[in-house]
Amino acid sequence: MRYSSLTLFTTLGILSFTTSQAAEPFKPERISVEKNISPGPNVFVLDQNWKGASTITVLSADDLSTKGNISDGLISQFTLSQDKKHLYTASVYPKRIMSGPTEAVVQDFDIATLSQIKEMETLPKMAQVAPSINSFQLSAEDKYAFVQNATPAASVSVISLATGQHLLEVPTPGCWGIYASQQPGKFSSLCGDGTIASYQIAADEKNYQASKSEKLFDSDKDALFLAAQRDGDNLMFTSFTGNMVVVSDKEAKATLVEKFNYTDGVEGHWVPGGFQILAYNKPNNLMFVTMHPDGKEGSHKDAAKEVWGIDMAGHKVVTRFKVDNPVAVTVSATEQPQLFTLKDNEEGEGGTVTKYSFSNDKKFTAQQQGSVKGLGDFNLLLRVDN
């Protein structure tokens, strides 16, 4: 009898459990896609891929939360339009990866929706190189896209953003990097002999005029980093040893505006290093530079131990703060600067972005505001749109 009661009890329990479970209405999971990303300023972080699609992660500049991402081809470069409403990429799509033809394209994405608007073909000789702000740029007024080529002979492709047509290829022998001028249809390039070459696209968009500056720097004794910042007609470079070199490319031939050193008298032999090493905040005329100590021949790509803020008018360092091995830096164009550093995946944590704010005085004391990890495997380039 005891076993019969136990069996009945168990059976009733199962029936009771089954009945209550069946009484709960089924709620299917609903998956949706937002039409627009959340409003507010953005940070764009490139994870350049050499074996598959590259990815640009869009973060909130306020709290570093993820808003979405954009995928494009292999070995991608990217830039933003003047109004910060469009993001342009240049990347390659190899048919067989290891051999065969390669299609190189420029893609136009709407930032609000992260959707592609247009695709434009460029030459398959597009340079397949590490991310750089000077490998792909837009001309003044966003009329043309300039794409760096290498065969290994250097040249620049010119693409009409209005029609999507490849207009012409401009040879840049002995020179590398694209520095779009403030003048429409003009760009400059940094040359190995210490000069800067400038190229003006003709009105018929079929020809160009080239001119070359006098020698502006010594590429053997104190080479310049390719990464530069622009303030109006002036291009601002730093040398490997800590000289700031300011050049104007307003006229046909680029000219030296000024040169000053910002490391003299500082113990520890500090020098700039990394990839995207400069970030300029115009409202405060402040240049941020990624720095490391014990500089030596070949350390120019070393990650930063500090970021320095340089007063470009006073020619002096006004702030220094410790950082965790970033290789790239960008800063907002706001009166109160917001600075973002990018660390590559060297430590196995994925690309890491860290945000810093500054005190509201001329000391510009930095304070870390947060960080986010896991943004990719090959992170050397980031941009902010405010």
Structure letter (DSSP) for residue 283: G
**Token pair in block for residue 268:** 């520890």
Please, which pLDDT band fits residue 380 given cuts at 50, 70 and 90? very high
264-285 mean pLDDT: 97
Contact 222, 239 (CB under 8 A): yes
Q: Other CB atoms closer than 10 Å to residue 384's CB: what's the count? A: 22
Between CA 8 and CA 250 the distance in angstroms is 94
The DSSP code for 2 is H
What does the pLDDT read at residue 10?
Answer: 41
What is the C-alpha to C-alpha distance for residues 269 and 286, in angstroms, rounded to an integer? 22
Helix (H) or strand (E) holding 59: strand 54-60
363, 368, 374, 375: CA torsion to nearest 10: -30
pLDDT, tens digit, 9 for 90 and up, residues 294-315:
999 999 999 999 999 999 999 9
Residue with tokens 């954009």: 70
Q: Which of 119, 75, 116 is nearest to 97 (CA)?
A: 75
Give the separation between CA 380 and CA 363, rounded to whole angstroms.
29
Report the alpha-carbon distance of residue 59 to residue 65 in Å, rounded: 5
Domains of the chain: 262-386 (2.40.128)
Q: Could you give the CA distance from residue 279 to residue 282 in angstroms, rounded to a whole number?
A: 10
How far is residue 289's CA from residue 278's CA, in Å, rounded to a whole number?
A: 5
For residue 33, the model assigns a pLDDT of: 75
Distances in Å between the Cα of 185 and the Cα atoms of 5, 141, 338 are 93, 9, 31
CA gap 127, 159 in Å, rounded: 15
CA distance from start to end of the chain: 80
Give this prediction's pTM: 0.91
Cα separation, 253 vs 371, whole angstroms: 43
What percent helix, strand, coil does the chain show, rounded to 5?
Answer: 10, 45, 45
**Pair of tokens at residue 249:** 């490319």
pLDDT tens figures, 48-81? 999 999 999 999 999 999 999 999 999 999 999 9
146 vs 33, 149, 205, 352, 358, CA distance in Å? 33, 10, 13, 29, 35
Task: List Cα–Cα distances, 23 to 16, 20, 30, in angstroms.
Answer: 11, 5, 21
Give the burial class of 299: count Cβ atoms within 10 A of its Cβ; 0-12 exposed, 13-18 middle, 19 or more buried: middle
Please provide the average confidence, as pLDDT, over all residues in the chain.
Answer: 93
Closest to 123 (Cα-Cα) out of 175, 166, 171: 166
Neighbour count for residue 254 (Cβ, 10 Å): 26
What's the average model confidence in pLDDT over 189-193? 98
pLDDT for the residue numbered 23: 63
Q: CB within 8 A of 247, min separation 6: which ones?
A: 196, 213, 216, 234, 235, 236, 237, 254, 255, 256, 257
The string of pLDDT tens digits covering residues 322-355 is: 999 999 999 999 999 999 999 999 888 999 999 9
Residue closest to 169 by CA, chosen among 142, 188, 149, 197: 149
Question: For residue 25, what are its two tokens?
Answer: 């209405």
pLDDT digits (tens, 9 = 90+) for 105-163: 999 999 999 999 999 999 999 999 999 999 999 999 999 999 999 999 999 999 999 99
